[in-house]
A and B are shown apart, each in its own frame.
Chain A
Amino acid sequence: MALINKVMPGFSATLWMQDDVTPTPLTDTQLATWTGQVADIIGTAAGGTGTAGIAVPVEAIPAFGADDAFAAYSVAGARTGAKITTQNQVTSMTITAAWNPADAAMLQIRDDGESGTVIRTYVVATYDGTNTVAYAFNGRIGGMQWDMAPGAEGKFTFTIHPTGGNSYGWSTNP
């Protein structure tokens, strides 16, 4: 695996998504498979092939990964208790983009959010100019808001809520 071995600047990250109107999201196994799967969603600008995906022009990639989660119990009058770890949810990503009403990715996200049922594979790609590390997950769009405050550019904010079982996978170019 051609894993990047250096500390990456934050702006080297890009967001990509499947470009079909009615996509078939990747399976859990495929989310961690570079060749023919994740690579096809990532464009050539970030080391992929771009045959099945488009870039989402966002301002910054928010923190992603998994939420902290546990179940706790306690006993009245005593300190006896425990935190029992549970399977953590995949973190939702709230993303801000400069609003371009004609951008293909934003139009598709707007349609997905309006539908509320479309599950699509999204990929965060980190690229050093040669190699790519990708975090892929499936999600639905929610929380769409447009902020057209005068005195600044228009902002489009939306949240990608992960779905499915494990629903995310890491991969890197071979």
Chain B
Amino acid sequence: MTTQQNPVDYAVAIQAQLTTTVSPVRVYANFNRNFATEPKFLTWQLRNVHQPVYTGPQDNKGIDRPVFQVSIFAQSMNDAFSISNTILQSLHGYAGQFGGAGGIWVSKVDIDWLYNTYDNELGLNQVILDCTLDIPA
């Protein structure tokens, strides 16, 4: 039995954890063209927040396995890959408190490097990572 968890807690934890991991590179939720003047930064978006619902009362649910997508932007391809590697080394397979003191508890972080690309209009290299959180309920 468990209640529905609060995605606001996820968002706060993701922002805090990424900020710590890639500091001093700036971390933003969602993309804003104004950021594109910075030589390197990253954005994230949360999706697939879902606890399976089982039979009976509303609080009979399973664990949540949301995904946050991290988009790493950098004018230098080397920077983009290096920041991505920093995230991989730090968080892939990580278990424990996520988001510093007061953060959520995750039993595992699983990172899938989807692809890298280049935006010619912005002049920015990009790497897209999918990060799955196992959040015990």
Hey, which bits of chain A sit against chain B, CB under 8 A?
10-15, 45-46, 55, 57-61, 98, 100, 103, 150-151, 153
Interface SS, B side: loop
Q: How far is the CB of A16 from chain B (nearest CB, A)?
A: 10
With both beta carbons as reference points, the residue of chain A lying nearest to B58 in the complex is identified as A45
Q: How far is the CB of A47 from chain B (nearest CB, A)?
A: 12
What string of 1s and 0s marks CB contacts (under 8 Å) between B82-117 and chain A? 000000000000000000000000001010000000
Question: Interface with A: B49-57, B68-76, B122-130, which one?
Answer: B49-57
20 contacts between A and B (CB under 8 A): A10-B55, A12-B56, A13-B55, A14-B55, A14-B56, A15-B55, A45-B56, A55-B1, A57-B60, A58-B54, A58-B56, A59-B55, A59-B62, A60-B54, A61-B55, A98-B54, A100-B1, A150-B108, A151-B110, A153-B134
Residues of A within 8 A of B1 (CB): 55, 57, 100, 103
Q: How far is the CB of A45 from chain B (nearest CB, A)?
A: 5
Q: How far is it, in angstroms, between the C-alpha of A12 and the C-alpha of B56 when the chains are bound? A: 5
* Contact, CB under 8 Å: B56 / A55: yes
Known contacts A98-B63, A103-B1, A153-B63; A59/B108 CB under 8 A: no
Additional pairs, 12, CB under 8 Å, beyond known A60-B55, A98-B61, A153-B136: A12-B55, A45-B56, A46-B57, A55-B1, A58-B55, A58-B56, A58-B60, A59-B52, A60-B54, A103-B1, A151-B110, A153-B134
Residues of B within 8 A of A151 (CB): 110
Q: How far is it, in angstroms, between the C-alpha of A103 and the C-alpha of B63 when the chains are bound? A: 15
Residues of A within 8 A of B134 (CB): 153
Residues of B within 8 A of A103 (CB): 1
10 smallest CB-CB distances across A and B, nearest first, come from A14-B56, A153-B63, A59-B54, A98-B62, A57-B1, A11-B55, A57-B60, A45-B57, A153-B62, A60-B55
Q: How far is it, in angstroms, between the C-alpha of A11 and the C-alpha of B57 when the chains are bound? A: 9
Residues of B within 8 A of A58 (CB): 54-56, 60
* Contact, CB under 8 Å: B56 / A57: yes
